[in-house]
A and B are shown apart, each in its own frame.
Chain A
Amino acid sequence: MPQFPATTVAEPSQDRTLILNMGPQHPSTHGVLRLVLEIDGETVVRLMPDIGYLHTGIEKTCEAKFYQQVVPLTDRIDYLCPLTNNLTYCLAVEKLLGLEIPAKAQWIRVLLNELTRINSHLVWLGTHAMDIGAMTVLLYCFREREDILRLFEMVSGQRMMTSYFRVGGLALEPPLGFFERAKQFADRFPGNVDEYEGLLTGNPIFRMRTRGVARLSAEDAIALGATGPTLRGSGVDIDLRRDSPYSGYENFKFKVPVGTEGDVFSRYVCRVQELRESIGIVQQALAGMPEGRVTADAPKVVLPDREKMKTQMEALIYHFKIITEGFTVPAGEVYQAVESPRGEMGYYIVSDGTAKPYRVHMRGPSFANLQVLAKMCEGHLIADVVAAIGSIDIVLGDVDR
């Protein structure tokens, strides 16, 4: 296993080097990431990320909330894929409870998760290309992202902070016309991906800026804990949707794109291929959508229908108790991992048998991926730092929590 010395940059280590501060207000750091760079001319000698500007103590807040009240908090961690956060948390609590989720709810969860992945990858593609100098792609990507956000608004009433998945199923049935709209989008989208690829994949400037830049070997990627497309771009064949299926992913057919070079271009190719695979999963989910309920049969956990609540005494009592006292969860602990757009998103939840979680820990893929940045950039040009940050696709809300 290779070893990596920790880097603390306060003083230049040599006479010829100087310290350069990049961020936290820098457009290419995608949020409030601060990098302290020691540079020798145009070459980065050392790089140290400084994080915590967006730390809001969500893990501490979760300990003071009922289980169902944590769902809206999870939206705010990785704000580019709120539904993936909702899903991970709900799956973890359902595992603690031993709840069985109806097939229709599982399929809608898969459908929306893949739309979330596309949404997140579109933001990544647009901003990453713009960092490198291709302005047009951003406008194209945000055009399609807008369609996805409208779909999210249809189901949940919110464009970004959706909170649509609940412990035990979904908040509501999707509205009439939702599946048709989703189908129209899924039919149109592969043509849009061709458009992006036409602008970038063969573009000589883009290729020069990305090929052979910020290389990461498979061995280093594993040792430093890289995850998701960053790990797959280095040639490690891992995808939790295929390797440890959750929420019915075993019913879907898709390929896992794996790169070989481990450079920025290789990670770009992986993510663009994932866009195509995701839309394939969306098509499969729409074609085979099962019938039935969207919430589990668990009256002590799932809120009753409004109609029943107004007409049946028992439903009214359950409604009152869930709202005022929450629901208790048997003591124990689970770690639920989900393949988010950025890699393995894990929720470790400890229950002490009460209605509030004893401990919630979020394993953010961006936090893990940020550790490889120093390895990618040291010894290379300062202009490539921007390309490297874009290629690991970090979200600072996910890093700092």
Chain B
Amino acid sequence: MALAPAITDLEQLKSHPALARLLGWNPAAIQGAKFDREELTVWIEKGMIRDACAILRDDAGCPFNYLCDLTCVDWYPSEPRFEVVYHLLSIPKKERVRLKARLDSSSPVIESVTSVWPAANFYEREVFDLFGVRFTGHPHLERILMPDNWEGHPLRKDYPVEGYR
């Protein structure tokens, strides 16, 4: 089974319910899309991520009502350095979509989606703890896995695997 090449053309992908809904809402919020290995990724303008999530959650035809996962990837040393990754699932329609927002290392700040899904609470705390990305509007942004007095953010690529000695 050879890998099919990734599709990045918005025109070819707009039949997917998530992308169709986002294009109908605000095409300016979409920075790009990719369909690769049967999975759709949509890059969202970082200032609009909360609104985009709320739009997808409340879609009448295919509501992406479940937040599966929220995490982050560090692309150090290239810029924009951080990519916050949201995996959404539509329980009624069994569709999945991955949203991404890019953040610069100078201001790793993004709006929290806890007001859309309360489930984001722990995930955003984990990303804050391990990557140092801050979420504005989060009700309780504190470290969750590491001790409160820990220095640094362990999953950043410039943090050594053995830790600081």
Interface positions of A (Cβ within 8 A of B):
1-8, 51-52, 55, 57, 59-61, 63-64, 95-96, 98-100, 222-225, 236, 238, 243-244, 330, 332-335, 337, 344, 346, 348, 350, 358-359, 361, 363, 367-368, 370-371, 400-401
Minimum C-beta distance from A20 to chain B (A): 20
Closest to A296 in B: B1
Minimum C-beta distance from A252 to chain B (A): 18
CB distance A225 to B73 under 8 Å? Answer: no
Closest to A96 in B: B37
CB distance B115 to A371 under 8 Å? Answer: no
CB distance A98 to B66 under 8 Å? Answer: no
Partner of B155, one of A59, A96, A238, A363: A59
Interface string of B58-83 (1 = CB under 8 A from A): 00000001111101011000000000
Interface string of B107-129 (1 = CB under 8 A from A): 00000000111110110000000
CB distance A332 to B145 under 8 Å? Answer: no
Interface positions of B (Cβ within 8 A of A):
1-3, 6, 36-39, 41, 57, 65-69, 71, 73-74, 85, 87, 91, 94, 96, 98, 115-119, 121-122, 130, 139-140, 142-147, 154-155, 159, 161
Closest to B139 in A: A6
Task: Give the distance in Å from the alpha carbon of A64 to the alpha carbon of B118 in the complex.
Answer: 33
Minimum C-beta distance from A340 to chain B (A): 13
Q: Can you list 26 pairs linking A and B with CB atoms under 8 Å apart?
A: A3-B115, A3-B118, A4-B118, A6-B139, A6-B140, A59-B155, A60-B154, A60-B159, A95-B38, A98-B1, A98-B2, A99-B1, A222-B65, A222-B66, A222-B91, A223-B118, A224-B119, A225-B118, A330-B3, A332-B36, A335-B68, A344-B68, A348-B69, A361-B71, A363-B71, A363-B87
CB distance A359 to B73 under 8 Å? Answer: yes
Task: Give the distance in Å from the alpha carbon of A368 to the alpha carbon of B68 in the complex.
Answer: 9
Task: Give the distance in Å from the alpha carbon of A337 to the alpha carbon of B96 in the complex.
Answer: 11
Which residues of A have CB within 8 Å of B85?
A: 348
CB distance A1 to B116 under 8 Å? Answer: yes
Q: A64-B161, A96-B37 are in contact. List 14 more A-B contacts (CB 8 A).
A: A51-B144, A52-B147, A55-B145, A59-B155, A95-B38, A98-B37, A222-B65, A236-B91, A332-B36, A334-B37, A335-B68, A335-B69, A335-B98, A371-B119
CB distance B39 to A334 under 8 Å? Answer: yes
CB distance B121 to A6 under 8 Å? Answer: yes
Which residues of A have CB within 8 Å of B67?
A: 225
CB distance B68 to A346 under 8 Å? Answer: yes
Our count of residue pairs bridging A and B at CB distance below 8 angstroms stands at 106
Which residues of B have CB within 8 Å of A7?
A: 140
Minimum C-beta distance from A312 to chain B (A): 26
Which residues of B have CB within 8 Å of A236?
A: 91
Give the top 6 A-B pairs by smallest Cβ distance, nearest first: A225-B119, A6-B140, A6-B139, A98-B3, A52-B145, A363-B69
Minimum C-beta distance from B119 to chain A (A): 3
Q: Given A57-B154, A60-B154, do A367 and B68 touch, yes or no (CB 8 Å)?
A: no
Q: Given A224-B118, A371-B122, do A243 and B94 touch, yes or no (CB 8 Å)?
A: yes
Partner of B119, one of A223, A335, A401: A223
Which residues of B have CB within 8 Å of A367?
A: 122
CB distance B117 to A225 under 8 Å? Answer: yes
CB distance B96 to A52 under 8 Å? Answer: no
Minimum C-beta distance from B148 to chain A (A): 10
Which residues of B have CB within 8 Å of A243?
A: 94
Which residues of B have CB within 8 Å of A52?
A: 143-147
CB distance B39 to A335 under 8 Å? Answer: yes
CB distance A51 to B66 under 8 Å? Answer: no
CB distance B37 to A332 under 8 Å? Answer: yes
Which residues of B have CB within 8 Å of A96?
A: 37
CB distance B37 to A51 under 8 Å? Answer: no
Which residues of A have CB within 8 Å of B57?
A: 1
Which residues of A have CB within 8 Å of B154?
A: 57, 60
Which residues of A have CB within 8 Å of B122?
A: 367-368, 370-371
CB distance B145 to A368 under 8 Å? Answer: no
Q: Given A63-B161, A332-B36, do A100 and B1 touch, yes or no (CB 8 Å)?
A: yes
CB distance B161 to A60 under 8 Å? Answer: yes
Closest to B71 in A: A361
Task: Give the distance in Å from the alpha carbon of A371 to the alpha carbon of B140 in the complex.
Answer: 13
Q: Given A6-B140, A371-B122, do A337 and B65 touch, yes or no (CB 8 Å)?
A: no
Task: Give the distance in Å from the alpha carbon of A264 to the alpha carbon of B101 in the complex.
Answer: 39
Closest to B73 in A: A359
